[in-house]
C-alpha cells in the first residue's frame, strides 16, 4: 500500500515462459474491477485503493541461484570422487 492508501501493489509470479506471465498480467488487468469490488466487500475500508499488478521475478532468480549451486555441488562432488 502506498502511504496515502490510494494504491495497493500486488505482486504475482507464474512458472513458465514470458508468454504465460504476460497473459496472467493481462488477465489481472482485465479483472481489476471485479477483484477490487470483491476485496472492498471483504476488507470494509472507507476507501478502496486502486490495484496495480506487478510480475515478481524473485522466484525465477532464486531458482537460477539454486541451479547454479546444484551445479557447483555436483562438480565438487565429482572432483572428490576422482581423487
pLDDT, one tens digit per residue, over 51-74 is 999 998 887 777 888 888 888 888
Domains defined along the chain, listed by start:
7-81 (3.30.300.20)
Percent of the chain beyond pLDDT 70? 92
What integer pLDDT is reported at residue 4 of this predicted model? 80
Residue 76 in this model has a pLDDT that exceeds 80? no
> Which among 32, 24, 23 has a CA at the least distance from the CA of 50?
32
The Cα–Cα gap between 28 and 54 comes to 10
Specify whether the backbone of 44 is left (phi greater than 0), alpha (psi in -120 to 50) or beta.
left
pLDDT confidence band for 78 (50 / 70 / 90): low
Q: Is the pTM of this model over 0.85?
A: no
Q: Give how far Cα 18 sits from Cα of 8, 71, 82, Å.
A: 24, 25, 41
Amino acid at each position: 500500500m502506498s502511504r496515502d492508501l490510494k494504491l495497493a501493489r500486488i505482486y504475482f509470479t507464474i512458472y513458465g515462459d514470458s508468454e504465460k506471465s504476460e497473459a496472467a498480467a493481462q488477465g489481472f488487468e482485465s479483472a481489476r474491477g471485479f477483484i477490487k469490488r470483491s476485496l472492498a466487500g471483504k476488507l470494509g475500508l472507507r476507501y478502496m485503493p486502486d490495484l496495480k499488478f506487478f510480475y515478481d521475478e524473485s522466484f525465477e532468480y532464486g531458482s537460477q541461484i539454486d541451479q547454479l549451486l546444484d551445479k557447483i555441488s555436483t562438480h565438487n562432488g565429482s572432483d572428490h570422487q576422482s581423487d
